[in-house]
Amino acid sequence: MEEYFQLILNGILLGGLYAAVGVGLSMMFGIVKQVNLAHGDLMILASYLCMVLITHLKFLNLWTAVILVVPIMFAVGFLLQKYIMNRVQGMGMEPPLIVAFGLSIIIQNGLMLIFSPDSQSLETPLAIMSLRVTDMFYIPAIYVIDFLTGIALIIFLHLFFKYSYLGWAIRAASDDENTAQLMGIDTRNIYAWAMGIAISSAAVSGILIGATKNFYPHTGPQYLIIAFGVTIIGGVGSMAGTLLGGLVLGLAQLLGGKIFGPGYQLLSGYIILLALLAVRPQGLLSKAGRAD
**pLDDT, tens digit, for every residue of 162-208?**
888 888 888 888 777 778 777 777 888 888 999 999 999 999 999 99
- In eight-state DSSP terms, residue 1 is -
Looking at the domain 2-279, which fold is it? ABC transporter involved in vitamin B12 uptake, BtuC (1.10.3470)
| Per-position DSSP letters for 74-110, written without gaps between them | HHHHHHHIIIIIHHHTTS-SHHHHHHHHHHHHHHHHH
- In eight-state DSSP terms, residue 236 is T
* pLDDT at 260 > cutoff 90: no
Residue ranges of the alpha helices (H) in 86-176?
A: 86-88, 94-115, 141-163, 165-175
pLDDT of 44 reads 94
Give residue limits of the domains in the chain: 2-279
pLDDT of 292 reads 53
Check: CB of residue 41 under 8 Å from CB of residue 220.
Answer: yes
Q: Residue 286 — pLDDT band, cuts 50, 70, 90? A: low
Measured in degrees and rounded to the nearest 5, phi and psi for residue 138 equal -125, 145
Measured in degrees and rounded to the nearest 5, phi and psi for residue 120 equal -130, 165
Q: Residue 9 — pLDDT band, cuts 50, 70, 90? A: confident
pLDDT by residue (tens digit) across 227-252? 888 888 888 777 888 888 889 888 88
**What are residue 131's DSSP bridge partners?**
139
Q: For the whole model, what pTM was predicted? A: 0.87
pLDDT by residue (tens digit) across 109-130? 999 999 888 888 887 777 677 7
